[in-house]
Amino acid sequence: MLEAIILTVITAATPLLLAAIGELVVERSGVLNLGVEGMMVMGAVCGFAGTLTFGTPFAGIIAGALAGMAVSLLFGFATLTLVANQVASGLALTLFGLGLAGLIGEGFVGTPGLKLPALFIPGLTDLPVVGRILFGQDVLVYLSFALVAGVSWFLFRTRAGLVLRAVGDNHGSAHALGYSVVKVRYLAVLFGGACAGLGGAYLSIAYTPLWVESMTAGRGWIALALVVFASWRPGRLVVGAYLFGAVTILQLHAQPLGLGVPSQFLSMLPYLATVVVLVLISGNRRATRFNTPACLGTPFVPDR
């Protein structure tokens, strides 16, 4: 029973973690992309379509990431090249993504998909208790952890990561030093798009191998909240994503038990938990003030 719950928590947490790690890099570069939900849903539908077209979930993974990147480019063009308002452009990306995904996915509603297979390592996966949890996951679960470790290393241990953080904290100085603020931000936005696309693809290939319209159900927004919760530190993102995965799964397990609570109230839990967590974390000024990228959400026009 416990093993089954942990396994489902992992599947609920992975899409959040994937989308949030991408957005963390975007926000560290000083760009606030509120379009995560739109990129995720595009990743979900294209991941599903790619899987069916090429007959393998691995094609779906790639299609999902590419779809996320493609729509993130729209956002990048509007906010970076044309310095449009980032909040409004992010909302535009979400509305556009939800619409376009619905249009693309219309023919796929009700079609059974293919599930991303879990890895099986002889010997290790058979281990009692921890075997399936540690060694029997699908590739995207491992990729999500690799991304967290990679991003953490990149941001705090490499020169390029330092440049990216500099661009996010003070774009004027970074520009004066000769770094291309717009180029760095474009790359960050594309990375964020790819990650959100992967997170979406995970939903339609691994979590529930189906396409349902608006199947992201606000996960993109929860991923945005997770970045704030993690106060822009990759490691804390894992804690946040698994906490939310656990809340999602707990309400699913609590529903058949009844407990006299109507199912709608249990379904509210992840959303209300997000609000509570945001309140708690923003009450803690030290954690937020210190780490918030100073140029987050402010447009940059290079002067010559």
Partner 1 sequence: MHLELVKRPEVSRVMMVGSPVLAVGLTVIFAAIVFALQGKDPLAGVYYFFLEPLTSSWSIEQLIVKATPLVIIALGLAVCFLSNNWNIGAEGQLTVGAITGSMLPVLVPEFASPATLPLMVLMGALGGALFAAVPAILKTRFGTNEILTSLMLVYASGLFLDWLVRGPWRDPKGFNFPITIAFNDAAIPSTIPIGPLYLNLSAFVALVLVAVLAVTLGRTLKGFEIRVLGQSPRAGAFAGFSARRMTLFAFMVSGALAGIAGILTVASEIGKLQPVISPGYGFTAIIVAFLGRLNPVGILIAGLVIALSYLGGEAIQTTMQMSSKVATVVQGMLLFFVLACDTLILYRVRLVGRAPKEPARA
Report the alpha-carbon distance of residue 107 to residue 187 in Å, rounded: 33
Q: What is the largest CA-CA distance in the chain?
A: 66
Q: ∠49-55-56 over CA atoms, to 5°?
A: 90
Q: Which class for 272: exposed (0-12), middle (13-18), buried (19 or more C-beta within 10 A)?
A: exposed
In the list 218, 250, 254, 255, the residue contacting partner 1 (rule: CB under 8 A) is 218
Q: How far is the CB of 298 from partner 1 (least distance, A)?
A: 13
In the list 88, 119, 134, 294, the residue contacting partner 1 (rule: CB under 8 A) is 88
**Judged by CB under 8 A, which stretch of 115-123, 141-149, 150-158, 265-273 contacts partner 1?**
265-273
Residue 294 in the binding site for partner 1 (CB under 8 A): no
**Judged by CB under 8 A, which stretch of 12-20, 114-122, 191-199, 216-224 contacts partner 1?**
216-224
Report the alpha-carbon distance of residue 131 to residue 83 in Å, rounded: 50
Residue written as token pair 């954690």: 287
Q: How far is the CB of 285 from partner 1 (least distance, A)?
A: 7
Residue 257 C-alpha from the chain's centroid: 31
Nearer to partner 1, 54 or 77 (CB): 77
Contact 76, 39 (CB under 8 A): no
H-state helical runs in 158-230: 159-169, 171-176, 181-202, 219-229
Of 27-56, which residues contact partner 1 (CB under 8 A)?
Answer: 34, 38
In this structure, the dihedral spanned by the alpha carbons of residues 31, 150, 43 and 3, taken in order and rounded to 10 degrees, is -130
Q: How far is the CB of 214 from partner 1 (least distance, A)?
A: 10
**Judged by CB under 8 A, which stretch of 17-25, 193-201, 245-253, 276-284 contacts partner 1?**
276-284
Of 126-155, which residues contact partner 1 (CB under 8 A)?
Answer: none
For residues 175 to 214, the per-residue mask of contacts with partner 1, x marking binding by CB under 8 A and - elsewhere, is ----------------------------------------
Where b means 16+ CB within 10 Å and e means fewer, 9-28 reads bbbbbbbbbbbbbbbbbbbb
In the list 149, 162, 239, 272, the residue contacting partner 1 (rule: CB under 8 A) is 272
Residue 2 in the binding site for partner 1 (CB under 8 A): no
In the list 4, 103, 109, 121, the residue contacting partner 1 (rule: CB under 8 A) is 103
Structure tokens at 167: 């661009």
Contact 298, 172 (CB under 8 A): no
In the list 96, 135, 145, 179, the residue contacting partner 1 (rule: CB under 8 A) is 96
Q: Which residues make up the interface to partner 1 (CB under 8 A)?
A: 34, 38, 74, 77-78, 81-85, 87-89, 91-93, 95-100, 102-103, 106, 217-218, 221, 224-225, 228, 262, 264-265, 267-268, 271-272, 274-275, 278-279, 282-283, 285, 288, 301
